[in-house]
Amino acid sequence: MVGGVSGTESIGITADVLVIGFGKGGKTLAATMAREGRKVVMLEQSDQMYGGTCINIGCVPTKALVHHADVRRPGDDPQSWYQDAIGAVTDLTTMMRGRNFQMLDTLDTVTVVTGRASFLDAKTVEVAAGDDRLTVNADTIVINTGSVPVIPDIRGMRTSAYLATSTDLLHTKELPRHLVVIGGGYLGLEFAAMYRQFGSEVSVLEASPKFLGREDDDVAEVVVDILRDQGITLIPDARVTEVSDGSADTVIRFEIDGRPRTLEADKILVATGRVPAIEGLGLDRAGIRVTERGAIEVDEYLRTSRPHIYAIGDVNGGPQFTYISLDDHRIVADGLLGDGTRSTADRRAVPHTMFITPPFSTVGLTETAARERGYNVRIAGKLVAQTAATPRVRIMGDTRGLIKLVIDADTDLILGAALVSIDSQEVINLIALAMRHDVPARELGNSIYTHPSTTEVLNEVLGTVAHVRSPSGAALMST
């Protein structure tokens, strides 16, 4: 165990606040409480996860690999380039992990402990590390244990030697010859695009009838076309039935409309979702209720069925994003140190980005959803290649994608946006801020932006007159 606590006999310590899990929300809350003079114990099950999922096996390493993949030149050897990229990313995460540990370990009132947690009662947690046992008693407990990948119950899959999760791939130095991704969500498509850029053959099997089925058809079509033009094989409506290992590869058997098909691969990435990590926590001994989907049940203030115990981040069943975990910490901190009025009900216009190239970013309602809710909808949009007053995309050499904003024609407020473009991960934050503060679309369209920047596309798109056409022929701008 870390933090000066070890021994073969069980000993106990007390704290004002116990945080279980070193993720974004947990570590930030621990530091906040410590600076207020509270005695804090930060508990993490692995010394390889200081700092949480984001910096170790999530956002930071995956987006760093996307960058390394994008800058590979045609003449660079794929295997050597990939191996060097994995090494560079490992160095990066090692450095960040050490800094995250130091961030808390240098605070006088924080004790960092490494081991597995299990509740003994509503205020006491036992920590196990090998033969060592430690009990921590705290008046306030925050559960921040994150989530774990779902492995579907498909014959032969769980025992396949070629199976990998996204975490496994981050530690694999051998570039797959043919990567088959099962699941066409954000994670699956990000990894598909990344490994194709590294030089792997990539196929994606998606059970739904179409990819990105929650998006408007014109938006989904642009994204799918980009991925297919990159050389990725996208197979919708595919029901995987079996995985059969051979000596050098594995065979994935699947059906489309009842007709059997097969793919051979030397690596399978399962990207079918993640579930809250609650196994072994002994939540029942603390009287903590769990939802039907296996998440810790919380109210809008992130309190569990035991009001002194909070659950933040993926484990509470909310959106699985690092920045949501960070906002969870603000809610709990306000409850413990402030006036306790901040809640999840305050959240509006939370943006999302899929880090393919160029990035795909969304916020708010799609056009379809807005019309279904009865809004009088106006659409402002253009294909990126058709923009005339946005030279940055040409400077960067990538004019693929589209810009689409959904506007309430009665109020001129933005209801949602979908951007497929260079820098969309930045521009979407401005749109989200405008939505949260009820900035009219005309003000966003008439604002002054730096030049040349991707943001100034808003000047052009929001000033567009009706009848711009989408690739599918549907009007992107209408009243």
User: Rounded to whole angstroms, how far apart are CA atoms 338 and 438?
Assistant: 26
pLDDT of residue 477: 43
- C-beta of residue 316 within 8 angstroms of C-beta of residue 305: no
User: Rounded to whole angstroms, how far apart are CA atoms 279 and 396?
Assistant: 47
Instruction: Tell me: pLDDT of 311 over 50.
Output: yes
Instruction: Tell me: pLDDT of 359 over 80.
Output: yes
Instruction: Tell me: pLDDT of 478 over 70.
Output: no
**451 carries an active-site annotation:** yes
111 annotated as belonging to a binding site for a ligand: no
364 annotated as belonging to a binding site for a ligand: no
- C-beta of residue 25 within 8 angstroms of C-beta of residue 298: no
User: Rounded to whole angstroms, how far apart are CA atoms 50 and 69?
Assistant: 26
pLDDT of residue 464: 64
**Domain range summary for the chain, segments of one domain joined by +:** 11-147+275-346, 163-272, 352-461
Percent of the chain exceeding pLDDT 70 equals: 95
146 annotated as belonging to a binding site for a ligand: yes
183 annotated as belonging to a binding site for a ligand: yes
Instruction: Tell me: pLDDT of 474 over 60.
Output: no
Neighbours of 229 (CB within 10 A): 9
Encode pLDDT of 138-192 as tens digits. Answer: 999 999 999 999 999 999 999 999 999 998 998 899 999 999 999 999 999 999 9
- At the top level of CATH, the class of 352-461 is alpha beta
Radius of gyration (C-alpha) of the chain in whole angstroms: 24
Instruction: Tell me: pLDDT of 9 over 70.
Output: no
pLDDT of residue 52: 82
Instruction: Tell me: pLDDT of 337 over 80.
Output: yes
From the candidates 68, 171, 352, 451, give the one annotated as an active-site residue. Answer: 451
294 annotated as belonging to a binding site for a ligand: no
- C-beta of residue 157 within 8 angstroms of C-beta of residue 149: no
Domains 163-272 and 352-461 belong to one CATH topology: no
203 annotated as belonging to a binding site for a ligand: no
Neighbours of 168 (CB within 10 A): 14
Mean of pLDDT over the chain: 92
User: Rounded to whole angstroms, how far apart are CA atoms 342 and 58?
Assistant: 28
Instruction: Tell me: pLDDT of 472 over 60.
Output: no
Quote the CATH superfamily of domain 11-147+275-346: FAD/NAD(P)-binding domain (3.50.50.60)
Instruction: Tell me: pLDDT of 2 over 80.
Output: no
In terms of pLDDT, which residue wins out, 306 or 7? 306
Q: Is 349 helix (H, G, I), strand (E, B) or coil?
A: coil
Instruction: Tell me: pLDDT of 48 over 90.
Output: no
Mean pLDDT of 441-467: 86
282 annotated as belonging to a binding site for a ligand: no
- C-beta of residue 193 within 8 angstroms of C-beta of residue 357: yes
* CATH number given to 163-272: 3.50.50.60
Mean pLDDT of 217-242: 97
Structure token digits, residue 33: 């409480």
In DSSP notation, 106-118 reads TSTTEEEEESEEE
Encode pLDDT of 338-349 as tens digits. Answer: 999 999 999 999
241 annotated as belonging to a binding site for a ligand: no
State the pLDDT confidence band at 7, using cuts at 50, 70 and 90. Answer: very low
pLDDT of residue 466: 41
